[in-house]
Amino acid sequence: MIEQYLGEAKVKPTLMIKKFKVSVSKNTLDNIYKKVKNYPWHNTKKMDGWLHGTNHLYLKKISKYWTSKFNWKLQEKKINKLNNFTTNIEGINIHFIREKGSGKNPTPLIILHGWPGSIVEFLEIIEKLAHPEKFGGNKEDSFDVIAPSLPGFGFSEAPKKPMGPRKIAKIMNELMTKKLGYKKYIAQGGDWGAAICNWLGYSHSKSCKAIHVNCLTMRHPNGPQNKSEKEWEKKFTKDQIMEEGYRTIQATKPQTLSYSMIDSPVGVAAWILEKFHSWSDIKNNNIESVYTKDILLTNIMIYLITNTFNSASWIYFGRREEGGRNFPNNFKKISVPTGIAKFPKEMLEWPPKSYLDRIFKIYQFSEMKKGGHFAALEQPDMLVKDLRKFLRSLKYNPYSHNGRGGSL
């Protein structure tokens, strides 16, 4: 049973946790809307389509909606409907949502966003994961859901200097164990959240007992070993040429970029919208075939109302300082059970399974029929279903974590 595997779910939590409520002043909102309204469209080149970057016509369209129909206070209410908290870890105030699961023994689960996302990615799945019986499921599949804003993102305080995913994993583990009192838990993530999950499973396996990822951001230090793996790497490198621009800037000179963005809500919107268009499984080149304007703008607003566009990009610089994409040369396979959800339009193409088998102890490998990089937003029900299935595999898999057989 998962109870045996996770052991006693909780210990007594330590140190202070404070209730948190999102409340953005009218002055802040008016200032943002004024800048959007006054954006100098007449000075921009009218380049149609998305080939050269964010579509000029679409950006004007969503900006008009932004200042005429978008209701931040309604979105604020949706966030505050959930239980929001903050706590201080290593001198950084960390924001998180916590929804306790139904039933007698819900499984502790931390879900981790990436860039250019936020906790907005999870607003549709938190209650489904915590209370499956309300959505046609079983209480036995419930999770205690913890959804933090990463350091420097959204409602979490920025660190004093750039911090990479390995360091963030340490903070997330402390949140789950020392702050919330869980002895054992599992983790899920995409984008940077997936990288942090990798480090949780690798460096904190005493408490993080399983991981579920929908993106591969890390690399094996020994590189590709066979023909198919080498072909994948060659294709991956070629495919990423058109996606390297933002990544290189944010990993080398994030401060320079921030000066132009801090006073331009439309600029921030353009920078973020381009990724949601390029990385998602959209139809007919239409970003709104997957996302509503409200969802897109709410995510953008999180960056603007908290002034975190700059500090959120630091994670790229931080990873470079930690050694980049590769695990360390002395890397040993991540030993905790791993679930992989492969969405077909993931922009970071997955390698052959032989490569993955050298990194992970794969318990579940699911190939999805549709969806892209932002799985929790694009295909929330598919992701929730796969997570529940993974939980059941941990409960009933005939092979235990230590390899000796028996239930988990």
| Catalytic annotation, pick one of 185, 202, 316, 355 | 316
Compute the CA torsion angle 127, 133, 138, 143 (nearest 10 deg): 20
**CA-wise closest residue to 275 among 254, 251, 256, 291:** 291
Residue written as token pair 């490998």: 365
Cα–Cα distance list, 66 to 30, 70, 298 (Å): 12, 5, 10
Phi and psi angles of residue 234, each rounded to the nearest 5 degrees, phi first: -65, -45
Catalytic residue flag (residue 259): no
Catalytic residue flag (residue 373): yes
| C-alpha–C-alpha distance, residues 187 and 87, integer Å | 19
Buried/exposed code over 129-156 (b: 16+ C-beta within 10 A; e: otherwise): bbbbeeeebeebbbbbbbbbbbbbbbbb
How far, rounded to the nearest angstrom, does the alpha carbon of residue 264 sit from its chain's CA centroid? 24
> Do residues 334 and 201 lie in contact, with contact meaning Cβ atoms separated by under 8 Å?
yes
> Do residues 336 and 201 lie in contact, with contact meaning Cβ atoms separated by under 8 Å?
yes
Beta-carbon count within 10 A of 43 CB: 6
| Catalytic annotation, pick one of 56, 58, 141, 191 | 191
- List CB contacts of 288: < 8 A, sequence separation 6 or more: none
Beta-carbon count within 10 A of 328 CB: 11
When computed from its CA atoms, the radius of gyration of the chain, rounded to whole angstroms, is 21
> Do residues 353 and 327 lie in contact, with contact meaning Cβ atoms separated by under 8 Å?
no
Cα(first)–Cα(last) distance of the chain, in Å? 5
- List CB contacts of 318: < 8 A, sequence separation 6 or more: 162, 163, 164, 165, 167, 168
Catalytic residue flag (residue 5): no
| Catalytic annotation, pick one of 56, 204, 373, 401 | 373
Residue 391 is classified by DSSP as H
Kindly list the catalytic residues.
Answer: 191, 316, 373
